[in-house]
Chain A
Amino acid sequence: MGNIKIADVLKKYTMVIALILVIVFFQIGTEGKILFAQNINNLISQNAYVFVLATGMLLCILTGGNIDLSVGSVVCFVGGIGAVMMANGTNMILAVIVMLVIGLLVGMFQGFWIAYIKVPPFIATLAGMYAFRGLSNVVLQGYAVSVTDAAFLNIFGGGAECYIPDFFGGETMNMTCLIAGIVIAVLYILVTVKNRISRKAKGYEVNPLAGEIVKTVLISVLIVWLFYKLANFRGISAALVWIALILLIYSYITNKTTIGRYLYAVGGNEKATRLSGVNTKRIYFFAYANMGLLAGLAGILTIARAASAQPTYGQGYEMDAIAACFIGGASAYGGVGSVMGMVVGATLMGVINQGMSIMGVNANYQSVVKGLVLLIAIIFDVMSKKEKN
């Protein structure tokens, strides 16, 4: 148990290592610009929708490599409804609730066909992709509608004021942000130590000490460094809070709850799961209903960031979310994948996008590179499966 095999570590953290290499590459290529505080902040805010959508997409993919193609259109549809409501003077809280509920209803609608009528997910959501794109146009009547509600923009990460204010009045940097970073890192270390001690006390197997220390220290340093960087710009953005919240909730669901467990089991072996007394239809329904809910949230974040809703918003979002999951190690056959893996995948895509933009790479080639990264990630997934057999 004591010795760690380098090959195993490399295999387990391939994408993390790839991410580091890509960052190093762009650090050189952009002469350090990629790690500017403002760029890191932008990376997070720009990709908030990817993190949120990819979280939902991950649950769908876990159930057997099933994807949801409609999310881009749903983002636009939900955003359009919210923007029109607020433009007509609806209370912001009511508008947010309506947007989330509509997202959920859309997801339930599609989930019903997929889970109970056995319409293939690809087709059911392809239909949704067309239909909700059209409905977005209907709702917005083909025009852009701007969003001006200041409270809405601040809370959901739009405009200049969408940062958590500095309570400590730091002069050169945002002290609240830095302190939050340190607190989170300390909490992380405490939880890790506590888990280790309690596992040991119960006589369970624990990870090798050296490896665990290295991992904990690296992650803690990373957290503090990230918040230090952010503190140098404007501090913690609302987008980051939303991302963190979603990631925490869904990490918990996938790791700790029975429904999370069933998502993996259905994707790993649907028949065995059904014969184990699990209502597998309900699992599919849950995955797609939840996807709709998160698409609703992504719609809110999208119109807040742009301070408007347009009939073209959300195009291609579904592909970004799918790609983030697969690059992050989710299996195209289902049953394998994790929220943390998806975060690495989404970050990798975001860094590549931003790095190339800063370097001034032609947008067409950016797309080519993204495609290749996705292909390589999937090849890796397939090859590593083959080895086992």
Chain B
Amino acid sequence: MAKVLLEMKNITKTFPGVKALDNVNLKVEEGEIHALVGENGAGKSTLMNVLSGIYPYGTYEGDIIYNGEVCKFNKIKDSEQKGIVIIHQELALVPYMSIGENMFLGNEQGKKAAIDWDKTYAEADKYLKMVGLSESSRVLIKEIGTGKQQLVEIAKALAKNAKLLILDEPTSSLNETDSKALLDLMLEFKKQGMTMIIISHKLNEVAYVSDKITVVRDGSTIETMDKHTTEISEDRIIKGMVGRELTDRFPKRHDVKIGDINMEVKDWTVYHPLYPERKVVDNVSFNVRKGEVVGIYGLMGAGRTELAMSIFGQSYGANITGKLMLSGKEVHLKTPQEAIKNKLAYVTEDRKGNGLVLTNSIKINTSLANLDSISNHKVIDKDKEYQVAEEYRGKLKTKCPTVEQNVGNLSGGNQQKVLLAKWMFTDPDVLILDEPTRGIDVGAKYEIYCIINDLVAAGKSVVMISSELPEVLGMSDRIYIMNAAKIVGELDAEEATQELIMSSILKSGEGA
């Protein structure tokens, strides 16, 4: 048996209100490729952040044993010194700097006050050759494509003398050919004795490249499969990933009548605002009826948020084409103002970044999107505003001392309720909820589900975008499945199963 290079023992990491990791154990042997799989939010990235020192020693419980010794990393530099290098999902390269400058950023060659540029570029070229990239290290990052940028990231990691390389979704932004090349490069490194951990959603890739697969679910490690002792198929991995039973985590809807089509989207195509040749939404059509909850399931990066935001007054994307019908009438919404006027609401997935003004009170956030309705000639009626905020606080059971409290001080679940209140106050017919329960605890999730049920009971339509399978299955009347900018399937709630949804995503991936 090979030597164990890394062992993470009983790791528990708690964020305020959420237990992100619960007694996680992970063993990685020298010279193997170890895959971590699990749904979004299962805790994979958190685990890797603990390992690399982003969450310093003392903020978690448990031990990291690396190369036989217990490690107490306080910052990323500490773990990198030991040869643990993490490559994050989002490329961390500076576009207007050269490949060489990027590779040695923070690790400059020569003296502090006199960088040795000749050495920098010579070293950089050496590592570029190792990863099979035939560009000069003097080329600017913005000149090369994402596939090559990913290789630069790997070369950068190698330049740090990596012994344990962690790749977080390395192929998420790559096309098929580049992905294949990257995976083969990993296998090449393995031959040379490198140890790697790969985090990926793409199960075919995981099965192709890894020796062992550890499944993470709800902050715990469920099982570790060894390719050499058990037959690993994608189905087998999926079972591990989603193997929990659905109990009554979702409130029942009673006798909600599903009516006419409230919103219909036809042949909707959106291009990336910065890379005008890249399609982020490709010929998508879907509809939602009165009193209906329609789920849109897809993994991160499938184009769901882009779809929703482009519908909501073209707040994302370029060169948007397609037809949008609200209550049977075709509308052209060019701004969020027009969308709101046409009784459409978009509740963002990024409540801190795009949703709430954290420095302002609950009251002010609640009224922001519909301030005119509580104003006379642009002068705010503060009494009315207060009453509205109080009304929604009661309705949504937001836990706060007063509505004058800053939303920045609320928990995630209560922030989400304030965000919902803000959009409910605009009195929409159709609500698009983008990851409405992301990062909030189970109790608050249940309350959000109840709010969704109340909304459809009142005859509204809800489009719920989510990357949590159980939630989509538990809440939706109908489910659309989105992958790689396209709708790849539509299922009724009765026929939908986790396996069916997962396999339709995988099949569409193979087809492309």
Contacts and interface: CB of A to CB of B under 8 A. Distances in A.
A358 B359 CA distance: 41
A132 B409 CA distance: 45
B360 A277 contact: no
Given A256-B382, A261-B364, A274 B315 contact: yes
B353 interface: yes
A268 B359 contact: yes
Interface stretch (B31-39, B153-161, B334-342): B334-342
Contacts of A268: 357-360
Contacts of B315: 274-275
Contacts of B422: 276
A304 interface: no
A205 B426 CA distance: 26
A277 B339 contact: yes
A386 interface: no
Contact of A258 (B312, B336, B378, B408): B378
B436 to A, nearest CB: 15
Contacts of A278: 337, 368
B139 interface: no
B356 A272 contact: yes
Interface string A192-209: 000000000010110000
Interface in B348-395: 348, 353-360, 364, 368-369, 371-372, 375, 378-380, 382-383, 386
A335 interface: yes
Contacts of A262: 371
Given A205-B404, A261-B380, A335 B340 contact: no
Contacts of A272: 348, 353-357, 368
B319 interface: no
A278 B340 CA distance: 10
Contacts of B340: 276-277
B346 interface: yes
Interface string B400-435: 001010001100000000000010001000000000
A385 to B, nearest CB: 9
Interface in A241-286: 256-259, 261-262, 264-265, 268-269, 271-279
Contacts of A336: 359
Contact of B354 (A259, A271, A279, A388): A271
Contacts of A277: 313, 335-337, 339-341, 369, 426
A265 B346 contact: no
Contacts of B359: 264, 268, 331, 335-336
Contacts of A259: 378
Given A205-B404, A274-B336, A276-B422, A258 B356 contact: no
Nearest to B387: A202
Interface in B319-339: 335-337, 339
Contacts of A269: 353-354, 356-358
A275 B402 contact: no
B115 to A, nearest CB: 30
A1 to B, nearest CB: 9
A274 B313 CA distance: 11
B379 A256 contact: yes
Point out which of B315, B346, B348, B371 has the most chain A C-beta atoms below 10 A from its C-beta.
Answer: B371
Nearest to A269: B357
B360 A275 contact: no
Contact of B357 (A204, A257, A265): A265
B383 A335 contact: no
A265 B339 CA distance: 20
Given A258-B378, A261-B371, A275 B346 contact: yes
Contacts, number: 86
Nearest to A203: B390
Contact of A264 (B357, B375, B408): B357
Interface in B179-206: none
A261 B370 CA distance: 12
Given A205-B404, A264-B360, A388-B408, A275 B354 contact: yes
A257 B340 CA distance: 21
Q: How large is the interface on B (under 10, 10 to 19, 20 to 34, 35 or more residues)?
A: 35 or more
A279 B386 CA distance: 24
A265 B340 CA distance: 18
A258 B360 contact: no
Contacts of A276: 336, 340, 368-369, 422
A133 B13 CA distance: 59
A268 B368 CA distance: 12
A220 to B, nearest CB: 24
B433 to A, nearest CB: 14
Contacts of A274: 315, 336
Contacts of B355: 272, 275
Interface string A61-103: 0000000000000000000000000000000000000000000
B357 A275 contact: no
A273 B360 contact: no
A273 B378 contact: no
B364 A258 contact: no
B353 A202 contact: no
A268 B353 CA distance: 10
A27 B409 CA distance: 42
Interface string A311-337: 000000000000000000001000110
Nearest to B357: A268
Nearest to B408: A388
Nearest to A205: B402
Contact of A335 (B341, B360, B378, B386): B360
Nearest to A335: B359
A202 B346 contact: no
A275 B404 contact: no
A204 B386 contact: yes
A256 B380 contact: yes
A276 B313 CA distance: 11
A276 B426 CA distance: 10
A202 B404 CA distance: 16
Point out which of A202, A204, A269, A279 has the most chain B C-beta atoms below 10 A from its C-beta.
Answer: A269
Contacts of A265: 357, 360, 364, 368
Contacts of B364: 261, 264-265
A264 B354 CA distance: 15
Nearest to B356: A272
Contact of B336 (A257, A275, A331): A275
Contacts of B337: 277-279
A257 B348 contact: no
B415 to A, nearest CB: 12
B379 A273 contact: no
A79 to B, nearest CB: 32
Contacts of B409: 388
Contacts of A261: 364, 368, 371, 380
B315 to A, nearest CB: 6
A351 to B, nearest CB: 29
Contact of A257 (B369, B379, B386): B379
B357 A258 contact: no
Nearest to B423: A276
B404 A335 contact: no
A35 B186 CA distance: 78
Nearest to B316: A275
Interface of A: 202, 204-205, 256-259, 261-262, 264-265, 268-269, 271-279, 331, 335-336, 388
21 contacts: A202-B383, A256-B380, A256-B382, A257-B380, A258-B375, A258-B378, A258-B379, A261-B371, A265-B357, A265-B364, A265-B368, A269-B353, A272-B355, A273-B357, A276-B340, A276-B369, A277-B335, A277-B369, A278-B337, A278-B368, A331-B359
**Nearest 7 Cβ contacts at the A-B interface:** A268-B357, A276-B369, A277-B340, A277-B337, A269-B357, A277-B336, A268-B359
Given A261-B371, A276-B340, A388-B409, 15 more contacts: A256-B380, A258-B378, A258-B380, A261-B380, A265-B357, A269-B356, A269-B358, A273-B368, A275-B336, A275-B355, A276-B368, A277-B341, A278-B337, A279-B335, A279-B337
